[in-house]
Structure 1
């Protein structure tokens, strides 16, 4: 059996037609579940509705960091909604720090990074309170900051999605027992291939981050969970682990991490 789970995608960002196509395809491609992460309150509401309509969809609720911070009132409204619905989610996410947004502003000293850190810490506290995993957008220089917060609050279940960072930070993530996930760019990005070599298969998942699009053999294609099969094959080659074992380990990692029931 070559079962897969898409450990991180934005299903709510697809058109209704494409959502139906993806859901219809899941059994055929042996994708048992998709973890659909949220970007803001409306996104949370949509992902909740999708999970109620399609049993394969497991929602995570959060606030994507690569956007302007909402007002204090909007943030409190989001936190209040998540508190009311937290039993319906499998994780807090997607949350983290705005690496790309800050980079676009040439790391302007006036960028309000402290506000993003405060919001992230509140999400971390909620993950701890509700005993939920946390899905993180934390790459390069931001990752050590996030690790500091996770360690401060004794977080045990953290998923660094599409992680990129130096060897020392990667090792820190592994030593803490956290997980990273790999997208289809593992087929052509040497940086990601190097990451796969460093990380134990037992602390790895696979994702698409759809609808984000990829290059190489997937250039111009709508991002679909079926692309994960190519990722698993490449991971198997890099790790020099039998393909069947690679499938089994990656699926079990995600299934157990998110406490999925089907």
Structure 2
């Protein structure tokens, strides 16, 4: 194991005992840091507290799109929180569009979510912060358009899924993607890993989201990213130590750690 970062985890969603165990295990598993993303204002406050208690936790603040719309006042309060704690956060996120929510209910309008996303894009640009995105399949081109509209260059599409044309668009724009442990057992994700430039690649768990394959029935833990790195090195025909160094360097540089 070499030093590595979990570029996307919902640390605040774990219970207190699990959080303490993960933080305790970081040294054992050579996890240098956790980029812990937020789902809403309360989530952001929890992640800020976690970061204040441990310098290896790096918070991002945003509004996760796969949930019901909140009030305009709630969004304004969240944006105010971002402004107030801009020097304590490493990025704006997690933000994006509600792909899966709309799959469950196709009557949900997308326009209000686009409006909210654009507000977060604007504040990311204003604060010169990277933005962490939930934008998959058909939603990804629209999100790319919004980023291009506002001249955003530092964008991280976590657990990305999309068509070949959109993949090429992300590559050309210099956007980063990160791979979860499903790269170890899903062929489509492995194909994406082969294609995507290693210079624009990170790794993540998206914990506590559960995984299958060799991770079936195991609580998602940052130690799993080592298996992801090993698989990517195999797919890329790269020396494992070189891949570790590149991915860790990518994460540090992208988030200014």
- TM-score in same-fold range (> 0.5): yes
Specify which of 139, 142, 152 is matched with residue 142 of structure 1: 139
Q: Cα offset for 1:115?
A: 0.4
Q: Which residue of 2 aligns with 1:117?
A: 114
Equivalent in the alignment of 1:151: 148
Question: What's the CA shift string for 1:149-170, capped at 9, x where partnerless?
Answer: 0000000100000000011101
Structure 1's unaligned 5+ residue stretches are: none
Name the residue aligned to 2:16: 16
Aligned counterparts of 1:161 and 1:215: Cα–Cα separation in 2: 18
The 5 A counterparts of 1:1-262 are 2-105=2-105, 107-108=106-107, 111-260=108-257
TM-score (norm 2): 0.99
Task: Find the aligned partners of 1:183 and 1:57 in 2 and give their Cα distance.
Answer: 19
Q: Could you list the runs of 5+ residues in structure 2 that have no partner in the other structure?
A: none
TM-score, normalised with respect to structure 1: 0.97
CA distance in 2 between partners of 1:12 and 1:112 (Å): 29
Alpha-carbon distance between aligned partners in 2 of 1:8 and 1:96, rounded to the nearest angstrom: 14
The Cα of 1:86 is off from its aligned counterpart by 1.4
Cα deviations across residues 180-233 of structure 1 (Å, max 9, x unaligned)?
000000011111001101101110000000000101111111110000000000
- Aligned-pair distance for 1:28? 1.0
